[in-house]
Amino acid sequence: MKQARHCFISESGELLARWQEAFPKASSIRFDQGMPVQPAPTLLWVRLPQGRPVANVLADIRRIHGNLPCIILSDLPDDDQALASFSAAARGYCNTHAVPAFLRQVAEVVGQGGLWIGESLMSRLVDATSRIEAKEPIESSDSWAAALTPREQEVARAIAEGASNKEIARGMGITERTVKLHVGSVLEKLGVRDRLQVALIVSGHRQSQPA
């Protein structure tokens, strides 16, 4: 893979300091401009204007610049917007104000043919998709309780109420140490790393990923 030539496209056409720092040789233009630089860039970074649909913006850009790989930069990133970006065949999606090192990393991945897609988005994508695509029946919403012992279920429920270990201990009439034991078992059995994930699963906002 050759050195990529970066071009930033935004409403004002300005080149933010962080971008410049990430890619000193990068060029920049406004949305409505043609490409003044020679040779033509190989990678476009598109700073999304407020309130304009991604698909729209990208369609315009493609009309002017052809089918170059595009990475979307968002001032206020959220998963739905990211989704829309990938629907419009963007190759990456990240925060406008990401640090230079981060931007370079994204560029690296995209340059190699990968997609840059945040962890959170990935989990949502997979969640949603597996429900549709899976041949196997959908697990019932309280399947989390299946693998847990009665005591473990108690603490899992308490966690979902937002209780601390100390409170749970008091409520169950056992020591904090024992609560930690149960919590540890719950984490392991549900395949998650901390109590927050447990709370989300028990509240029905997450699927457990048994490890």
Partner DNA sequence: CAGCCCCCTGTACTTCGGTACAGTTACCCT
Partner DNA sequence: AGGGTAACTGTACCGAAGTACAGGGGGCTG
Contact of 14 with 33, CB cutoff 8 Å: no
Q: At its nearest, how many Å lie between DNA and the CB of residue 193?
A: 7
6: helix, coil or strand? strand
Tell me if 183 contacts DNA by CB under 7 A: yes
- Return all residues near 17 (Cβ < 8 A) that are at least 6 apart: none
Report 96-115 residues binding DNA (CB under 7 A). Answer: 97
Give the largest Cα separation in the chain, rounded. Answer: 74
Report 143-172 residues binding DNA (CB under 7 A). Answer: 149-152, 164-166, 172
Strand partners, 74: 95
183 binds, among DNA, a second copy, none (CB under 5 to 8 A by kind): DNA
Among 158, 187, 190, 201, binds DNA (CB under 7 A): 187
Cα atoms in the 13 Å half-sphere on the side-chain side of 16: 19
Q: At its nearest, how many Å lie between DNA and the CB of residue 72?
A: 18
DSSP letter string over 155-171?
HHHHHHTT--HHHHHHH
Q: At its nearest, how many Å lie between a second copy and the CB of residue 161?
A: 4
Residues that bind DNA (CB under 7 A): 97, 149-152, 164-166, 172, 174-175, 177-178, 180-184, 187-188, 193-196
